[in-house]
Structure 1
């Protein structure tokens, strides 16, 4: 198992890695909006989504992947009302690529954020 840490992003505060690679698959831990950059009390849901996908892009790149390599995505959103806005952002980010996905409405997320994204990607052959 190879640990993945994207440059320019803070190391996880807990006992986990940003991502790990095992047998050609890259597993991203749940990604929240970047603390200290996005404030859940001030920034919009859209700002939070942009922060999460920006971080995911950097973590995927650190593993030699991009969004087109993602095979599965699990999303946690606070409140079902955010679903349409999230879906539009997700469609823009992934374009024609359509990985397997689950969107799970939850009552709350850590630090008061409204979105968390977890991904699995297949590392392209060298």
Structure 2
């Protein structure tokens, strides 16, 4: 059985998907971009600010499911320019200070709304 988990504290989906799906005790969080919740505004002031917004959006969804960053077991990071990896990684590390999850980082040619970074995760709740 699956349960859809959505929150107004993260951006509404911009397509036919849910913010997250809980299947058993596994939470699958859809890729998050730097949309400011409740608006159509992207936070693109810097790659650091953009990454923080992505992580905050992911955190709001985790919280709605009764979890937090410590519950995350896997992240997927998609970037439009691997040259930003160091800055993205530094911000990402602020949210996973101990026992970080498994992950991959992949450079792609384009992301939704032409953002620079998108992150999804899988968590155990």
Tell me, yes or no, whether TM beats 0.5: yes
Once structures 1 and 2 are overlaid, which stretch shifts more, 4-13 or 70-79?
Answer: 4-13
Output the CA distance in 1 between the equivalents of 2:19 and 2:26.
14
Corresponding residue number in structure 2 for 1:80:
82
- Give the number of aligned pairs: 121
Structure 1 residues 90, 39: closer, same or farther in 2, change over 3 A?
closer
Q: Secondary structure at the match of 1:81?
A: helix
The CA deviation string for residues 48-102 of structure 1, in whole angstroms up to 9 with x for no partner, is 1011000000000001110000000000011110111111111111101211000
Q: Over aligned residues, Cα RMSD in angstroms? A: 1.3
Query: Higher mean Cα deviation, 71-80 or 7-16?
Result: 7-16
Q: Which runs of 5+ in 2 are unaligned?
A: none
Return the TM-score normalized by structure 1: 0.90
SS of 1:118 mapped into structure 2: strand
Unaligned runs of 5+ in 1: none
TM score, norm. by length of structure 2: 0.90
1:38–1:47 Cα contact (<8 Å) kept: no
Detail structure 1 runs of 4+ shifted over 3 Å in the superposition.
none
